[in-house]
Structure 1
Amino acid sequence: MAGLSLAEALKSPKSLGGPWKVYGSALRPMPTWFPSSVLDTYIAFDATDAGDTADKLARFSGEVTHLFWLAIQVRESEQVNVMVNATMLSNVLNVLKGGPGSRLSHVTVQTGTQHYMGPIHNPSESAHSFNSHEPPFVEDLPRLPYPNFYYALEDLVKSYVPALSYSVHRSSIIIGASSRSVYNALLTLAVYASICRHERLPFRYVGNRCQEPSLQLH
């Protein structure tokens, strides 16, 4: 959902060190709506599969200097989310940082407010004795005592220091270009708000309690 905006920003001559050479990747083939002009190469591979990851990425390990990690998979429980998402990033880092001639120097990880709210993807799992931080959320809040794949991703990239540096961006709800993502909530809310205005109806929030703290930030 953030990939298109990221690619456009990196390709801009105004970006720091830009324009960059950009490799885009995902599990599926590049969608028809995605403008190929913002990418130099597109690589479709399954990051949960170490063999497929190595087959598709190994030839780029001597070129890639920065990795921007935007991937997410949500499964049936947060314990599984931790395993799957950490496996994906680990497989990619093993190829881009583990091979001879690697040039990878920095990893940027996009996470989100789940860092402060706990396993919000699994409300039934956290229905008992679950407490999140209260907004406003600030970076130095302690971790919550629940499984959280965002914590696993941070710990993984930190384990590579000082061989590489890293940054973590904990965005709240974002707007992005995606025909598939179920997390593209703000565009849906914007359409709903426009319909309410056109019909002269009150705008009533249609989300649930798990989403309210994020919306309070805006």
Structure 2
Amino acid sequence: YEKLGDKMENANRAALFNATLSKSKSKLKAAFEARDLMDFTLHGASKWVRTLTSIIPFSNAMLQGKYKLARSTKEHSEAVATLAGMTILVSLFEYFMWGDDEDWDSRPDWDKDSYFQVKIPGTDTRFKIPKPHEFAMVGNLAWRGIDMARKNDPVHGELLASAVRTAVFREFDTTPLPHFIKPFVEIGMNENLYFNKPIESKGMQHLSPENRKSLYTSDTAGLISGVLQNIP
């Protein structure tokens, strides 16, 4: 699995290396461009940034992605604008195609923001395609704006503002908490910070701790809960 992942990750690097080599005839330049495609070894010179990236998983990957996008926007503005426009068009196509479908509309916001859902007409079969990072946000804002205008409901102004905040937060998800502390903070707040929803519903909070489970609660979690409940 790791070898397959490495091959898929390096496919774009190899293609860029060959393309640059054929143009510049310089192996050094080709190697630099291939590595610079997404160089996760970059950490910056700021001490506080290095501290954050060392304790918060994937924060460096997020920062490098935004840094690379900013550079690409400056150096290849037409290509970036084309990709952003294509993402908006695909997002709007999905919305107009399935926006009135009950199954599509019942999807949680985080799922709509993260995946394109393709449903085979006349069946219940559907599959998801991950949306591209960075560009997904402009597509999500586009279809949500159209959704608010179509429904012409004052309440949807608040929902749109909430959705925008959630989309931006999810795109720049850098909660300054080490992940070994984050679960305890979420439990104390009773909120999943990524999905932006309560961990336990209001209905569950009226039940005794040992009965706060659903169809999706694993047997292992139930067993651990029972053991912890009996600890004096």
TM-score range, shorter chain: under 0.3
Given the two structures, how large is their TM-score scaled by the length of structure 1? 0.25
Q: Whose RCO is larger (CA < 8 A, sep 6+)?
A: 1
**Structure having the larger proportion of residues in helix:** 2
Which structure has the greater CA radius of gyration? 2
